[in-house]
Structure 1
Amino acid sequence: MLSFFKSVPLKKLKKAHAKKLEQAMHAQRKGDIRSFATITSEAEELKREIQKLQQESAQEKA
């Protein structure tokens, strides 16, 4: 039952990650490399959090 509640934050993080990647793409296309770098690093941080949650859920299942 606890895994049911943990899927919601994971979905939110995945959605936020996809949004950051899209923002980074638009910044890069506009030639704003500083914004691109900042947004990309934020997206990488979200990706790390997603991986951490996935590992925790995998360990709970084992």
Structure 2
Amino acid sequence: MEFPRGCIALNNITLNGKTGNFALHKPEGKAVQFYDLSDPRNFFLKSEIEKSEKAYAHKHPAKKQSDKD
């Protein structure tokens, strides 16, 4: 299965009575698809999301608040 670009990770939410981490994607002209990131079948998607988050954090480092206040 090839996972689409543009998935959104949803962490610590309840969906259909189950709390956990999920990803969602809405293909053009189709219904929203949800992926349970704790399901081993979605390991590839989870690892791609983690790589994307690391790349974003590297490109846009968090700014530290100054102690001058």
| TM-score (normalizing by structure 2) | 0.38
Q: Which has the higher strand share?
A: 2
Whose relative contact order is higher, 1 or 2, with alpha carbons under 8 Å and at least 6 apart? 1
In the superposition, the TM-score normalised over structure 1's length comes to 0.41
Richer in helix (by share): 1
